[in-house]
């Protein structure tokens, strides 16, 4: 689904540059809850990656880790184990906290409270958590990419920055804006965004 967290995985596939196929899971028609999709991914979430051997891999960090480790020539993960742990630390913070705790409250308040009268308050709390995430990440960012060299953490940071800029009109801290600008300039990011816009 364009403009969801799967754009980070879509971007990694573009960075790797090997042939892949995309199937749009249209949220407007609730395709994520269709029996066909649930047979592949009972969690009804994107992204899901079908491998050449037919296995289905889900969860953003697991998919990104798999893509990085199975394409070592692309250096999407550093070799040093501590640097690798630092990449996973940032990926986890973005996917589990900034996205799932912050942005999901804004996009899907019903997941946090069945009572519609509380939804504006849930969204406001989501915006606080989401924007606080950038404030926590910003001081640790290196240049030009989050941990110096480009890694899967940049694809994770990019998708939440894209939401901040395009979906909630949040002013990013300077270091995150600089990171976002560096990402937007990458040819693979441009290709991914063009493909998603056309989907």
Ligand X SMILES: N[C@@H](CCC(=O)N[C@@H](CS)C(=O)NCC(=O)O)C(=O)O
The residues binding ligand X (CB under 6 A) are 4-5, 32, 44-47, 59-60, 95, 108
Distances 95 to 1, 74, 111, 154 between C-alpha atoms, Å: 17, 22, 17, 12
Which ranges of 76-118 would DSSP assign to H, the alpha helix?
81-92, 104-107
Q: Which helix (H) or strand (E) holds 108?
A: none
Which residues, other chains included, contact 91 with Cβ-Cβ below 8 Å and sequence gap of 6+?
A: 60, 61, 64, 152, 153, 156
Angstrom CA distances, 3 to 30, 53, 163, 165, 197, stand at 15, 28, 8, 12, 9
Q: For ligand X, which is the closer residue by CB, 160 or 176?
A: 160
| Least distance in angstroms from the C-beta of 180 to ligand X | 18
What is the nearest approach in angstroms of ligand X to the Cβ of residue 73? 25
- Asked if residue 48 lies in contact with residue 41, where contact means CB atoms within 8 angstroms, the answer is yes
Residue closer to ligand X (CB basis): 47 or 133: 47
**Cα of 88 vs its chain's centroid, Å:** 13
As measured in angstroms, the least distance from the Cβ of 111 to ligand X is: 7
Is the CB of 17 or the CB of 110 nearer to ligand X?
Answer: 110
Considering only CA atoms, which of 140, 134, 144 is closest in space to residue 170?
134
In whole angstroms, how close is the CB of 95 to ligand X at the nearest point? 5
Which one, 45 or 125, has the nearer CB to ligand X?
45
Smaller CB distance to ligand X: residue 32 or 151? 32
For residue 153, the minimal CB distance to ligand X (Å) is 14
Using CA of residue 104, residue 106, residue 107, residue 112, what is the dihedral sign? positive
Q: Nearest approach, Cβ of 112 to ligand X (angstroms)?
A: 12
C-beta closer to ligand X: residue 60 or 65: 60
């Amino acid at each position: 689904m364009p403009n969801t967290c799967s754009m980070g995985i879509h971007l990694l596939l573009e960075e790797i540059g090997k042939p892949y196929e995309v199937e749009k899971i249209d949220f407007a028609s609730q395709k994520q809850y269709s029996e066909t999709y649930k047979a592949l991914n009972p969690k009804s979430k994107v992204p899901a990656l079908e491998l050449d051997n037919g296995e289905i891999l889900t969860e953003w960090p697991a998919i990104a880790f798999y893509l990085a480790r199975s394409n070592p020539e692309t250096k999407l993960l550093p070799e040093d184990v501590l640097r690798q742990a630092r990449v996973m630390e940032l990926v986890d913070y973005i996917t589990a906290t900034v996205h799932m705790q912050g942005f999901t409250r804004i996009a899907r308040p019903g997941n946090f409270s069945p009572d519609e009268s509380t939804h504006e308050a849930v969204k406001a709390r989501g915006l606080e958590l989401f924007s606080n995430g950038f404030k926590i990440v910003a001081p640790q960012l290196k240049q030009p990419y989050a941990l110096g060299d480009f890694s899967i953490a940049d694809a994770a940071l990019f998708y939440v920055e894209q939401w901040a800029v395009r979906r909630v009109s949040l002013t990013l801290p300077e270091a995150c804006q600089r990171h976002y600008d560096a990402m937007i300039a990458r040819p693979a990011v441009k290709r991914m965004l063009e493909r998603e816009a056309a989907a």
